[in-house]
Structure 1
Amino acid sequence: MTQLSGHAADGLELGQGRSVRPVLLHAVPNTAAGLWRDLAEQLALPASSAEECMSRLAASPDTVAVLLDRLHEASSSLRRSIVERVVRPLQALPAVRLVITEDSTPPVSEFGTDGTDVEILRLGAGPYRPDTLADRASRASAHRDAGDLDRAITLYEEILDDQAQALGNGHLDIMAIRYQLAGAYYAKGDLDRVIALYEQTVTDRARLLGPDHPDTLSARNNLAISYSDAGRTQEALELHERVLADSERLLGPDHPSTLSARNNLARARDVDNPVQQRSSATSMTTAEPQQPSTSD
């Protein structure tokens, strides 16, 4: 018998001691096969089919929280396909919890009556919906660009709290907002907060994407720059050296990111050697300090 169970929109209790890996999937525009591909990509699973993805999910030590949105926008035939080929298989996996936005919950009849229990947690519409969160992030960015940093910071922090409620900590969308918040704090000169945000992002990206992913390297680069700006020169030098070595190994010596990493290391060394900095000042063509990127 199909079971639909409600859930309050003010938070999701998932994992019960296990690490939670949240995933956001849009039913439209997509297909059942496309949803499996998106799921495998976001979880970095080397799976080429739904069956292989399910097998790897079944062996996962983590809880996977799948937020399925926009199901209500799909045609009835597509909804039936997604329910049959995605919802039911996912619900058969003990480590997977499926969250469907309340207005996306399909009619009970579409789940059939073959005795299969399909639990759906409803995430209420409102401030936690992905499209609402995106709109709020745009407003926060507008305040930042207008120079109203205090208001932008307040909005970004509220969005981070709400994203954690909707998606769980560590989601890639949360990391994107954390970058925007770090940029606002950087503009205010609050480097302690900037460093704390970047350190968390480095940890999360290494866990979700892997230590050698380009986005992880970018986060480590920004953290190294922030260390340097804060006067933590030795930490900056050590991290810049590791970023350069990894960039050369993964991207090659002539890749633009490698060249940027080499330049950042040179700047950090100049800061650590004021005599050398004065002697080379006339040959520097990029004397303006580099602000950490907040676009990724």
Structure 2
Amino acid sequence: MNALATRGAIAHIIAEMGDPGEALRQTREILAAEERALGPDHTNTLSTRQSLAQYLARSGNLSGGIDVLADLLPDLIRALGADHPDVFDARSDLARYHRQNGNRAQAVRRLQEVLADLGRIHGAEDHRVVLARQELDDLLVQPE
């Protein structure tokens, strides 16, 4: 494991221990170093951008997390392909952040798209499809 990956793992632990603000600060530093050393399209850099979005959202900056993911998704799709699990994670996170940020319609639309694509790839009974369907159902029964 290289130094940047180790720092990323430490930032993740810090976030899990309840300090997403510190994890966010460290992740910004890691991202800057990865962009210099690996380039903006390297899979490690893309993964760190995804972590950045998560820590922004967890620290209360949902709009920031949404913006980072919206910018990241085309790059992830180009680098990994539209059907890659990391792409689905980012798309699901984006829907979740829209939901948490009060944009129910955007969350529903995005979750419906994720559910349709997961079903196409894995079949209706796959656990990922079942979980996505549950998340969408939960969202649909909540009052606006």
The answer to whether the superposition gives a TM-score over 0.5 is yes
* 1:141 and 2:12 are equivalent in the alignment: yes
Question: Which string of whole-angstrom CA distances, capped at 9 and with x for unpartnered residues, describes residues 138-170 of structure 1?
Answer: 332333233333322111001101101111112
* 1:236 and 2:107 are equivalent in the alignment: yes
**Which residue is equivalent to 1:259?**
130
* 1:227 and 2:98 are equivalent in the alignment: yes
Q: CA–CA distance in 1 between the matches of 2:15 and 2:109? A: 32
Which residue, out of 115, 119, 129, partners 1:248? 119
Residues 237 and 269 in structure 1, CA contact (< 8 A), matched pair in contact too: yes
Uncovered stretches (5+) of structure 1, i.e. residues with no partner: 1-129, 275-296
Q: CA–CA distance in 2 between the matches of 1:143 and 1:248? A: 35
Runs of 4+ in 1 over 3 A off after TM superposition: none
* 1:177 and 2:72 are equivalent in the alignment: no
Residues 225 and 264 in structure 1, CA contact (< 8 A), matched pair in contact too: no
Tell me by how many angstroms 1:134 deviates.
1.6
TM-score by length of 1: 0.45
**Identity level (%):** 30
Tell me by how many angstroms 1:246 deviates.
0.9
Which residue, out of 74, 78, 81, partners 1:207? 78
Partner amino acid, structure 2, of 1:231: G
More helix by share: 2
Residues 244 and 262 in structure 1, CA contact (< 8 A), matched pair in contact too: yes
Which residue, out of 193, 215, 221, partners 2:64? 193
Q: CA–CA distance in 2 between the matches of 1:246 and 1:138? A: 30
Secondary structure of the residue aligned to 1:211 is coil
Q: CA–CA distance in 2 between the matches of 1:207 and 1:238? A: 22
Partner amino acid, structure 2, of 1:215: D
**Which residue is equivalent to 2:24?**
153
Secondary structure of the residue aligned to 2:102 is coil
Tell me by how many angstroms 1:228 deviates.
0.9
Residues 46 and 72 in structure 2, CA contact (< 8 A), matched pair in contact too: yes
Assess, with a 3 A threshold, how the Cα gap between structure 1 residues 245 and 148 changes in structure 2: closer, same or farther: closer
Q: How does 1:115-126 map to 2 (within 5 A)?
A: none
TM-score by length of 2: 0.88
More strand by share: 1
Tell me by how many angstroms 1:204 deviates.
1.6
Residues 195 and 223 in structure 1, CA contact (< 8 A), matched pair in contact too: yes
Q: How does 1:1-296 map to 2 (within 5 A)?
A: 131-271=2-142, 273-274=143-144
Q: Please, which moves more after superposition, 242-251 or 131-140?
A: 131-140
Partner amino acid, structure 2, of 1:144: A
Determine which structure has more spread, i.e. the larger CA radius of gyration.
Answer: 1
Question: Which string of whole-angstrom CA distances, capped at 9 and with x for unpartnered residues, describes residues 9-64 of structure 1?
Answer: xxxxxxxxxxxxxxxxxxxxxxxxxxxxxxxxxxxxxxxxxxxxxxxxxxxxxxxx
Q: CA–CA distance in 1 between the matches of 2:137 and 2:101? A: 17
